[in-house]
Amino acid sequence: MTTSVFFGCTFIAFGPAISLFLFTIARDPLRVIFLIAGAFFWLVSLLLSSLVWFIAVQISNKENASVQKGLLIFGVVLSVLLQETFRFGYYKLLKRANEGLMALSQEDAMPISIRQLAYVSGLGFGFMSGAFSVVNILADSLGPGTVGIHGDSQHYFVSSAFMTMAVILLHMFWGVVFFDACEKKRWWAVVIVVLSHLLVSCLSFLNPQYEGSLIPAYVVMCLMGMWAFSSAGGSLRNLKLCLTCRDKDFLLANHRPR
């Protein structure tokens, strides 16, 4: 419950995402704009799902705790579905905008490819989702208090931070896979993305048994990461070449004058 907890949890939760942003997105203004637009879309989806949940709570019995918990679970599921719907909507909007821009400029190449858009929009969703989940918790971790004074888990802050990191990276992977699946019209892949999102969210119902929620979430994250890597064009060969600095395309690209 000090600044060290605050900084530690902040860096755990946002470290990978911020470094991704700084190294790959911050230089290119178009990508930044699409990142913020992605965050906005996530926000709108959250708004709608909260609206539905709020109305449901108002018309229900507020005293009954199990009803409230049931409504919360319903809210979570609805929110996940709405998020994926808005991801699809964002994809459609980007496709239409890109087509419009191409028609306008009579260019063959789009200024930003759909794969980059997938990555950037996924990260935008992830940023906003992570921020909304964890920022209030981080703010509380600064100020005086005792963790778990009523018998709750002592690891509340750290587990929240790790879960947030997983969720942010997951959103990015889901974005890449989702857009790729929509491009190639593989609807089964889209369904798998939605189901995995539902799985991760429903696993969080097991909290505070963190073994049940964190570990499977990280397993799902690694699997989705590998799937996203391969759908973005990566392979073991590419990876080896890149890691041993023998990838000519990569090296040439980095030496190209800006």
Partner 1 sequence: MNTSGSEEEFCNERTSLMTTESPPVSSYHVETGISSLEDTQTKGRRPITNESNNREADHEGESVERDSTADSEDEEMSLKYGAKHVIMLFVPVTLCMIVVIATIKSVSFYTEKGGQLIYTPFTEDTTSVGQRLLNSVLNTLIMISVIVVMTIFLVVLYKYRCYKFIHGWLILSSLMLLFWFSFMYLGEVFKTYNVAMDYPTLALVIWNFGAVGMVCIHWKGPLQLQQAYLIMISALMALVFIKYLPEWSAWVILGAISVYDLIAVLCPKGPLRMLVETAQERNEPIFPALIYSSAMIWMVGMTEHSAVQQPSHQETNSDEEVGQSHHDNTEDNRNMVVPETEVHGAQSRTTSAVELEEERGIKLGLGDFIFYSVLVGKASATASGDWNTTLACFVAILIGLCLTLLLLAIFKKALPALPISITFGLVFYFSTDNLVRPFMDNLAAHQFYI
Q: Radius of gyration of the chain from Cα atoms?
A: 20
Shortest Cβ distance from residue 255 to partner 1 (Å)? 22
Shortest Cβ distance from residue 240 to partner 1 (Å)? 35
- The reply to whether 24 sits near partner 1 by the rule CB under 8 A is no
Only one residue has tokens 């759908």, namely 231
- The reply to whether 168 sits near partner 1 by the rule CB under 8 A is no
Enter the tokens of residue 201: 């969210």
CB 1 within 8 A of CB 141: yes
CB 229 within 8 A of CB 236: no
Shortest Cβ distance from residue 159 to partner 1 (Å)? 7
Q: Which residues contact 252 (CB under 8 A, 6 or more apart)?
A: none
Site for partner 1 in 188-227 (CB under 8 A): 200-201, 204-205, 207-208
CA 69/CA 47 separation, integer angstroms: 20
Toward partner 1, which CB reaches closer, 32 or 242? 32
In the shown chain, the binding pattern of residues 47 to 86 toward partner 1, with x for contact by CB under 8 A and - for none, equals: x-xxx-xx--x----------xx--xx-xx--xx--x---
Site for partner 1 in 117-136 (CB under 8 A): 128-129, 131-133, 135-136
SS3 73: helix
Other Cβ atoms less than 10 A from the Cβ of 222: the count is 12
Question: Between the CA of residue 132 and those of 43, 139, 213, what are the distances in Å?
Answer: 9, 12, 19
- The reply to whether 116 sits near partner 1 by the rule CB under 8 A is no
Question: With the CA atoms of 197, 10, 147 and 170 taken in that order, what torsion angle do they form, in degrees rounded to the nearest 10?
Answer: 10
Site for partner 1 in 133-162 (CB under 8 A): 133, 135-137, 139, 156, 159-160
- The reply to whether 36 sits near partner 1 by the rule CB under 8 A is yes
Residues that bind partner 1 (CB under 8 A): 29-30, 32-33, 36-37, 39-40, 43, 46-47, 49-51, 53-54, 57, 68-69, 72-73, 75-76, 79-80, 83, 101, 104-107, 111, 128-129, 131-133, 135-137, 139, 156, 159-160, 163-164, 167, 200-201, 204-205, 207-208
